[in-house]
């Protein structure tokens, strides 16, 4: 198993746009040639657009882009900017007239940090699409700029989340995960058991026992969601990609305590960009590993802002 770069996973580009003063932004993934896609929602309160078009029971149209954005449901407006950009490039579904790009997306609720009245819009989505490349930044960028974690005791005890990714190659197949981490509780490294980011209490971190006690008795605000996109060059159809996205949620459960709560919007998209033959269970296992490492990357790369400290500021 070896790590690879985004440029080695052909067929996609990634772009960020953000408003640093408002502390919100969006991240765009483009697939100019179109690709198969699937989705799995495990949070109880998702905010999505066209995610249902990737359900295994729907028509198998190609995916031309995916958007992860801040701004709660307001931020879904950024998707229309991505669609406009793709239409200008001659990319989209031929419906007998203007092309219609298929661009599903999902949101995090970041209205509690920065200027909550300013959200990603069509202009920001267009800007992110125009800036796509194969060497995206990580940390407090794009949809991750307003992400926070460890909010069980309120925002004044929280830490910064962010955007991160990790790509692997094993036995001829490539798999990558890109995540926006905006979790309620602790982020841990499942390999070592180390707590990387958490609700702060005094000079230290909150314990697992305290964490679950708070979940049991505290009203949860709903301002927490983790989003991921899993990309592989394995040749999978819609139903297989929905299962891949479903299994990849194991990566959430292993790194985020707690995850998949009723007020969460935890969602994973999955797309196939290639024609490599690979066993579904192998790709799923690699996806779980990639999701885990992308979440850790997002939190470790985050920079403190708007009064919320990142991991680097507390080391």
Instruction: Give the pLDDT of residue 218.
Output: 56
Residue 204 has pLDDT above 70, yes or no: no
Instruction: Give the pLDDT of residue 201.
Output: 67
How does pLDDT run across 290-311, given as a tens digit for each residue? 999 999 999 999 999 988 888 8
The domain 2-133+140-309 is classified under which CATH number: 2.60.40.1480, 3.60.70.12, 3.40.50.720, 3.30.800.10?
Answer: 3.60.70.12
Residue 55 has pLDDT above 90, yes or no: no
Q: DSSP class of residue 56?
A: T
CA atoms within 13 A on the CB side of 244: 36
Instruction: Give the pLDDT of residue 45.
Output: 86
Q: DSSP class of residue 55?
A: S
Q: Across the strands, what pairs with 187?
A: 197, 256
Burial 65-74 (b: 16+ CB within 10 A, else e): bbbbbbbbeb
The angle that helices 78-88 and 122-130 make with each other, rounded to 10 degrees, is: 50
> How large is the average pLDDT for residues 220-235?
85
Grade residue 177 by pLDDT with cuts at 50, 70 and 90.
Answer: very high
Over pLDDT 90: what percentage of the chain?
A: 70
- Alpha-carbon distances, residue 118 vs 43, 195, 224, 306 (angstroms): 25, 32, 18, 14
Confirm if 132 and 28 have CB atoms less than 8 A apart: yes
Minimum mean pLDDT range among 26-30, 58-62, 66-70? 58-62
pTM tops 0.85, yes or no: yes
Burial 23-38 (b: 16+ CB within 10 A, else e): bbbbbbbbbbebbbbb
> How large is the average pLDDT for residues 242-256?
96
Alpha helices of 174-232 — where are they, by DSSP H? Answer: 208-217
For the chain, give every domain's residue range: 2-133+140-309
- Enclosing H/E stretch for 293: helix 280-300
Q: Of 296, 301, 282, 175, which Cα lies nearest the Cα of 226?
A: 296
């Amino acid at each position: 198993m070896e790590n690879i770069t985004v440029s080695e996973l052909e067929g996609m580009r990634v772009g960020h746009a953000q408003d640093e003063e408002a502390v919100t932004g969006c991240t765009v993934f483009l697939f100019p040639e179109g690709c198969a896609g699937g989705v799995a929602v495990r949070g109880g309160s998702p905010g999505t657009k066209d995610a249902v078009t990737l359900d295994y029971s729907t028509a198998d149209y190609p995916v031309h882009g995916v958007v992860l954005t801040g701004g709660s449901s307001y931020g879904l407006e950024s998707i229309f900017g991505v669609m406009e950009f793709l239409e200008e490039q001659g990319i989209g579904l031929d419906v007998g007239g203007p092309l219609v790009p298929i661009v599903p997306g999902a949101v995090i609720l970041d209205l509690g940090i920065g200027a909550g009245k300013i959200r990603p819009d069509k202009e920001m989505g267009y800007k992110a699409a125009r800036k796509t490349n194969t060497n995206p930044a990580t940390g407090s960028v794009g949809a991750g700029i307003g992400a926070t974690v460890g909010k069980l005791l309120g925002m004044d005890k929280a830490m910064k989340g962010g955007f991160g990714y990790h790509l692997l190659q094993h036995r001829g197949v490539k798999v990558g995960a890109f995540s926006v981490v905006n979790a309620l509780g602790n982020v841990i490294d499942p390999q070592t058991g180390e707590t990387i980011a958490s609700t702060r209490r005094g000079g230290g971190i909150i314990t697992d026992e305290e964490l679950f006690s708070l979940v049991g008795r505290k009203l949860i605000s709903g301002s927490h969601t983790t989003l991921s996109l899993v990309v592989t060059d394995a040749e999978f159809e819609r139903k297989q990609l929905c299962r891949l996205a479903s299994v990849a949620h194991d990566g959430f459960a292993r790194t985020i305590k707690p995850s998949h709560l009723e007020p969460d919007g935890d969602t994973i998209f999955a797309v196939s960009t290639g024609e490599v033959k690979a066993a579904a269970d192998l790709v799923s296992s690699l996806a779980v590993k990639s999701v885990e490492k992308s979440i850790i990357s997002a939190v470790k790369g985050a920079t403190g802002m708007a009064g919320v400290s990142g991991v680097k500021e507390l080391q």
